[in-house]
Structure 1
Amino acid sequence: MTTDLPTRAAEARRALVQTLVDAGDLTDPDWRRAFEEVPRHTFVPYFYAPSGERVSGDERWFTAVHEDRSLVTHRTDGAATSSSSQPSLMATMLEALEVGDGMNALEIGAGTGYNAALLSHRLGDSHVTTVDIAEDITGPARDRLATAGYHPTVITGDGSLGSPDHAPYDRIIVTCGLSSVPPDLLQQLTDDGFLLTPLGNALARVHLTGPGTATGRFLPHGAFFMPLRLTAADGVPTHRPRLPTGPGRLSTLPALAIADNHFRFLASIAIPGLTWQYDLNDHGEITGARVWHPDGSIAHAHPDATVAESGPRNLWRLLEDTHRTYQIAGCPGPDRYGITLTPESQQVWLDNPAGPVWSLAI
């Protein structure tokens, strides 16, 4: 690396921002300035390659930090548990917040601190609070924020509880995966505020409608985030159960269908908590797949269109049923879905609340 890192990094940021602008991911001038001026390399001094190798301080590190890609930044027992999100997705989410001057924002999932820095650049330090579960995440994030010249409130705690001491918030942004919306977060919104969160594999924008009730719609964008950690030991992916050894059966759902991100969204809502692993041919096409759940269920789809299943649930049969619903509905994207929340239930629906409905576990 050359000694003039700040100058090189500023040039690389401008190039990245232009890429985001050209792709239509970054349209707001205020957010454009934030991405141009907040140094991502300060917040990602290292990352972990897929092999587990820690990469830092060389040209490979510099290039990766200034590309539109997510980077694993924290590992627990060898498993990835925190990351710096893909800048294009960050830009999409920040613009979807529709913030204005003087608004207060709460971020759930401080991670590296980079997103909190972007929020602070736009809103000011005193208007931004960010929460993460473990001091070994929030401590470095706080230090990096200070190095970059930002001083939002950084809290170590359970993100599902938010930060009531600093409420109410005009906007709450969640940068980790949720399986349902924590009720405590809704209680910390202003009457006209809203929460933007990943649910399943897409983004939901949720508005209050009354005490303990809310409704929202999903945005068209996909969103893949590491799950919310409720304790410092959470977030470690479950080990794959033993593969089924019994005879397979012919399936109406080929492994290739799982490459359809619109279907993957519905699957993430209807059958939450799945982990996927693919077989690819020389052309990068999916020929087989394994999918499993923390309850010990696993399915193995083979290239010959057969599938074998084991465990307490037949996962592939559940996916087949979900795919039929998806096809009958015309293969909808996430923006055709909405969500209704009450103190007793949270339901995702297709097209309108009277349409097909999936209940979220709360």
Structure 2
Amino acid sequence: MTTDSDLAQAATVERARLVQSLVDSGDMTDAAWREAFERVPRHVFVPSFYDHTGREISASDAGTRDQWFAAVHEDRALVTHRTAGAATSSSSQPSVMATMLEALRVETDGTGMKVLEIGTGTGYNAALLAHRLGSDSVVTVDTEPDLVTAARARLAEAGYKPRVVLADGAYGHAELAPYDRIIATCRIGSVPSAWVRQLSGGTGTDAGQIIAPLGNALVRIHRTGPLRAEGRFLPGGAYFMPLRRDTVDGVPTRRPELPTDEGRRTEVPASALADNAYRFLLSIVEPDLAWQYDLTQDGKPAAARVWSPDGAIAALHTDGTVSEAGPRSLWSRLEDAYRVFTEHDEPGPERYGLTVDDEAQRVWLDTPRGPSWGLLT
């Protein structure tokens, strides 16, 4: 890869290999999205990233160039922006991107379907949308000025010109509304009412739709009224940077003081903490938890500390007891969720749904009349 031409040729080969692996794994089934992933050069949008130690891996550094090139053509998320030492933006895992884009159910039938993306980031996802729908059909917003500037330049370099807007994504972009689809590439705790208002009307499959990471999974909802929407979660997990960041990674930067009281028995085993289905429910019941683990030799949790932004903390010990401190009993909330989880045959995200209206938002299990949990809006 001594010249730009050599780099482009090598990248084309590696993109084809990556896309084939996504097809083989079942993460990509739509031929039109396959063509977009094969054509849009991810390496242009990710000229550098940070590894788990915080070291920058860059195309412009001869010492890390080969590592950079390999990583941008792997199915992995890459941290691309840090603020005060914390990860604040990333290039999402391609398999998750493919899942979200296919779930968006876009059409290129000449009707001029318009998409709003919340969270421009590197601009890579906006480029994929623009390749599929045309640049005039894509609006993307981000709140970080330096990210917006860089994304505009990289999109232009790759030959795409969607509308890139510096704005708070929680408010969408009313100027160009309504949108047939809204896709968020950042985690939300509830659906902003502005997004529902800016969706196009219609009924059934013609109604405007939103797909977004809510908690630890993806939810797809469709508009059912002026301020109403409803839908279900998709199978599997999804882990994204939050839409807004009031503290580092959405939780206190310091762990509260550990509890010192004598532990009590708990029905939640340490093994449940590694169960993605149970952890999804926790991400709804108690968003923004922070965790520390003690692991067994085979990498499974043996003990843990967990705390919430309000300073409540619980410690699960290796003897199966738990102790707590802070303003409330945090572990009791985890126990309540575990009882629902086990009593309903350990449901995965696909068994949950979401109802949004102008008064409240609720996540429910199996049907809107099943167990449910309100979201903070």
Using the size of structure 2 for normalisation, the TM-score is 0.92
How big is each residue's C-alpha offset from its partner over 1:275-314, in whole Å with a ceiling of 9 and x where there is no partner?
2232222222222222111111122222222222211122
What RMSD, in angstroms, separates the aligned Cα atoms of the two structures?
A: 1.5
Q: Does 1:194 align with 2:196?
A: no
Q: Which amino acid aligns with 1:126?
A: D
**SS state at 1:103 partner:** coil
Question: Which of 72, 78, 82 in structure 2 is aligned with 1:75?
Answer: 82
Q: Structure 1: which 5+ residue stretches go unaligned?
A: none
How big is each residue's C-alpha offset from its partner over 1:221-280, in whole Å with a ceiling of 9 and x where there is no partner?
21111110278x875652122322333222221222111111111111111121223222
* Contact persistence 1:105–1:170 (CA under 8 A): yes
How big is each residue's C-alpha offset from its partner over 1:187-242, in whole Å with a ceiling of 9 and x where there is no partner?
111111111111111111111111211111111121111110278x8756521223
Match for residue 96 of structure 1? 103
**SS state at 1:169 partner:** coil
Aligned residue runs from structure 1 range 198-209, under 5 A = 198-209=213-224
Q: Does 1:119 align with 2:90?
A: no
Question: Runs in 1 of length 4+ with deviation above 3 angstroms?
Answer: 233-237
* Contact persistence 2:251–2:308 (CA under 8 A): no
Percent of pairs identical after alignment? 58
Match for residue 85 of structure 1? 92
Q: Structure 2: which 5+ residue stretches go unaligned?
A: 60-64, 202-206
**SS state at 1:358 partner:** strand
Distance, in Å, in 1 between the alignment partners of 2:136 and 2:248 is 30
How big is each residue's C-alpha offset from its partner over 1:78-97, in whole Å with a ceiling of 9 and x where there is no partner?
01111110100000000001
Q: Which amino acid aligns with 2:100?
A: M
* Contact persistence 2:251–2:288 (CA under 8 A): no
* Contact persistence 1:110–1:131 (CA under 8 A): yes
Q: 1:2 to 1:308 in 2, by over 3 A?
A: farther
Aligned residue runs from structure 1 range 306-321, under 5 A = 306-321=321-336
Match for residue 252 of structure 2? 238
**SS state at 1:173 partner:** strand
**SS state at 1:221 partner:** coil
Aligned residue runs from structure 1 range 1-362, under 5 A = 2-3=2-3, 4-57=6-59, 58-101=65-108, 102-191=112-201, 192-229=207-244, 237-239=251-253, 240-362=255-377
Q: Which amino acid aligns with 1:92?
A: T
Match for residue 62 of structure 2? none
How big is each residue's C-alpha offset from its partner over 1:13-41, in whole Å with a ceiling of 9 and x where there is no partner?
11110110000001111100111111111
Distance, in Å, in 1 between the alignment partners of 2:307 and 2:156 is 42
**SS state at 2:309 partner:** coil
Using the size of structure 1 for normalisation, the TM-score is 0.96
**SS state at 1:220 partner:** coil
* Contact persistence 1:79–1:236 (CA under 8 A): no
* Contact persistence 2:196–2:226 (CA under 8 A): no
* Contact persistence 1:201–1:265 (CA under 8 A): yes
**SS state at 1:243 partner:** coil
Structure 1 window deviating more from structure 2 (242-251 vs 189-198): it is 242-251
Distance, in Å, in 2 between the alignment partners of 1:236 and 1:218 is 23
**SS state at 1:62 partner:** helix
**SS state at 2:230 partner:** strand
Distance, in Å, in 2 between the alignment partners of 1:234 and 1:155 is 25
Distance, in Å, in 2 between the alignment partners of 1:326 and 1:158 is 36
**SS state at 2:129 partner:** helix
